Amino acid sequence: MSYYFRTFKIKFILFNLVLSSVFLYKGKLRADDLQETERIFHTLCSTCHGKDGGGISDEDVQKLGLDKAPANFRDVQFSSREPKYVWKRVIRDGGERHGYSRYMPSFGNVLSEAQIDQIVRYIKGLGYDPSYPQGELNFTRAIFTAKAFPEDEFIYIGNYTKSKLVSYKQTFYFAKRIGNVYQVEFKNSFIHSSDFSGEFETGVKWNFLHLEHNLIISSFGFEVAIPYMSDEKWVYAPYLAFGKGFGNRFSFQISSKLMHSLVSKEIKLNLSSAFHFIPTVEVGRTIIPALEFLADYSPKEDYLVPYLVPQLYFSISKRGHLALNIGFKQPLRTSDEKFSVVGFLLWEYIDGWFFEGL
């Protein structure tokens, strides 16, 4: 009985908020009128998100009958994680449609598109810190190209390779964002072939350049690989990652990695780049095609092997925080490797539990 009463209470409150907004804001707002935008915020948003956008207390959450605490717009890391178009579609369509709380109402029939854009800019500005790379630079992850944006994510990667011997490599990857521009990561790989071997990797990443208005981001990283149950030796690998967006739907990413063995002193260079096209930004659950180019170069052998990796990125959850990417790696020159089928399952755990928003 309490559940139905709580649901009725919150719907009654939201109904009155929306109804009042119809009478207060039936006229067209000027996009540059900050006072009007603040008035919209205080009428429609402040009850759940706080008068200053900094959230409400647990006691108020219970009084309102909400299932969880609404977003704190003054949380700098939360504010910077996702691009503005994600916030816009939630305000326009409501939370439930995009995998968030069913108590987040839709305002698409109350506010104009210009008004919603202005509200998004306003609430994004509450937690804005220029030292944090913004969500517009959080480009879609490719299979091989290193990503410049610092992330909180867990990834399972599978790689089936056909060469003289068939092998299957499993990698468990964990990344944690530290502060505004840093990331630490840990990988553990198992390689199944004629025998069994493994490799543990740890690394750090530093985002040293992010230009939101130019949609440019670049980072430097450093990894150390420690093989076990293998004759391979320690390898360290510095790398550079770069990304450039072209509007909301196209992105280009490139990375270069220098791998150096501490024992044999052998050096290998890996170059990779990826082009992504997002068919729509109106929903989080979508299919994103990509084309990736790789090149492995060994100075010792003076031999370069290029690869082509077409792939499809399936965003599984409505939020977009759970995804599956599958690609086919084909060498474009004679190589020991005939082909590979590669894929990963990605979970951006900072945006919710694994099964949330499905």
Task: State how far the Cα of 176 lies from the Cα of 350, in Å rounded to an integer.
Answer: 9
The model's pTM: 0.87
Query: Rg (Cα) of the chain, in Å, rounded?
Result: 24
Summarize pLDDT for 13-64 with one digit per residue, the tens. Answer: 444 443 333 333 333 345 456 888 899 999 999 899 999 999 888 989 898 8
For the CA atoms of 183, 188, 191, 196, the dihedral, rounded to the nearest 10 degrees, stands at 150
Query: 135-351, which class in CATH?
Result: mainly beta
Average pLDDT, integer, range 119-132: 95
Residue 181's contacts (CB-CB under 8 Å, 6 or more residues apart) are 131, 132, 133, 150, 206, 207, 208, 210
Q: Which of 153, 193, 197, 210 lies closest to 177 in space, CA to CA? A: 153
Query: 2-126, which class in CATH?
Result: mainly alpha
Long-range contacts of 69-76 (CB under 8 A, 24+ apart): 70/101, 70/104, 72/127, 73/49, 73/123, 73/124, 73/126, 73/127, 74/126, 74/127, 75/127, 76/127, 76/128, 76/129, 76/132, 76/180
Summarize pLDDT for 153-198 with one digit per residue, the tens. Answer: 999 999 999 887 788 999 999 999 999 999 999 999 999 987 889 9
Instruction: Look up residue 267 and give its DSSP letter.
Output: E
Q: Which of 202, 257, 190 lies closest to 234 in space, CA to CA? A: 202
The single-letter code of the amino acid at 105 is P
* Domain assignments of the chain as residue spans, ordered by start: 2-126, 135-351
